[in-house]
Structure 1
């Protein structure tokens, strides 16, 4: 059975009351409409019809929409760690499923772009909150391999265990202190991202290794 296209909140994330959007991260990639051999290198726009290359277990809904992470091509291939400035050009994209894979393109689905939420706009789209929990203690303990990279606007912190599973966060400094705007979780069975405007306490800020705001 394939995973559903709007990922359920696992037990690990049930008390994440701050989450406004749940979507897919690395299970799908955006295809350049001018040449399907290449990845899309410009942020999707509302109203566009595009295609996604998906993993075999991905199942898009026949009705309703789902959210997908967009990263510029180089960041998609090599990660934000290699290109942290591309955090500013990344987005969450709401998609309507309009076409199934076919014999020629067995791992490709057609979508219509319903909404685009660029990373710089997340803190204005959603009100700040301190509700719910945030699993940052493993970052403090360096439980796994932890790396941190920053652009002018965002800090991306990645943690993985033997490259088998991990979590990551994207943080932004605001007038109220630091906020987590995305929290990602991945393993061989999933690659989900959770989006909101979660203010960090002093203890959580320290756990993530961020300097005092």
Structure 2
């Protein structure tokens, strides 16, 4: 029996989403970033795919629920196969953790599978998904074993140069990119004067991936970045 695949097209260049390998030797979770999926409180009756405005849900996903979501490029997934999705509450989904850092500890990776397709065109789709698991980001330093972050994790930040750093309580949100076309970011938790990267993001025109784990980063390197960011006026702290 042929598998049903949901693969959506880029609205800019019309290229088709490519399959994302949902495993990594560097991380415990591989999934899509939150921009790829929007959560709703609709059931089977959904707005038109091209509707400019509709009501986002402020109800976080819970294990066992069946929810209606809207997905866009670069989403690519086989109906019925499980996949991970970064979930952030509504305000930080719209404006980022740096605008709503209080939502960091309410964010999670959600493991889902597609139950059925409600509506679909080339660019977007309304889906019913089953919520299989919800793993809160704030617990990853306890959930996952520590990985050595001294090699293979920070090179892309160095490549882009001069990362921006946002500090909220024990959290650092570090981002670097190239003129809005591609970039990387990391969510780092300060624990006992050490720096643990619990989420890493890698984005570009045709990718929007998020990774979860417990990566112990070199302390001297992160504190060097902080000093550099302060000097370059690319550091912001909020209590």
Q: Distance in 2 between matches of 1:77 and 1:89?
A: 15
**1:113-132 superposed matches below 5 A:** 113-130=131-148
1:94 CA displacement: 0.3
Is this contact kept in 2: 1:136–1:204, CA < 8 A?
no
Equivalent in the alignment of 1:18: 26
Secondary structure of 1:60's match?
strand
In the other structure, the counterpart of 1:100 is 117
- Indicate the structure (1 or 2) with the bigger Cα radius of gyration: 2
Q: How does 1:140-179 map to 2 (within 5 A)?
A: 143=161, 146-175=163-192, 177-179=194-196
Are 2:18 and 1:3 aligned?
Answer: yes
Say which is worse superposed, 57-66 or 100-109, in terms of deviation: 100-109
Q: How far did residue 132 of structure 1 move? A: 7.2
SS at match of 1:40: coil
Q: Deviations over 1:99-134 (max 9, x none)?
A: 124269952111010000111111111011216734
* CA 1:176–1:207: 2 relative to 1, 3 Å: closer
Shift of 1:207: 5.0
| Secondary structure at the counterpart of residue 226 of structure 2 | coil
- Give the unaligned 5+ runs of structure 1: none
* TM-score scaled by length of structure 1: 0.82
The corresponding residue for 2:107 is 90
* Counterparts in 2 of 1:48 and 1:202: CA distance versus 1, 3 Å: same
Structure 1 residues 161, 131: closer, same or farther in 2, change over 3 A? closer
TM-score, normalization by structure 2:
0.74
Q: How many residues align?
A: 203
8 Å CA contact retained: 1:87, 1:151: no
Matched, 1:109 2:127: yes
75-84 vs 170-179, greater mean Cα deviation: 170-179
Residue 205 of structure 1: which of 217, 222, 232 is its match? 222
* Gap runs ≥5 in structure 2: 1-15, 48-53, 229-239
Output the CA distance in 1 between the equivalents of 2:136 and 2:97.
15
Deviations 1:48-90 (CA, angstroms, capped at 9, x unpaired): 1112211145232223200001111111111112112211111
Aligned-residue CA RMSD (Å): 2.9
Aligned residues of 1:31 and 1:50 also touching (Cα < 8 A): yes
What's the secondary structure of 2:201's corresponding residue?
A: strand
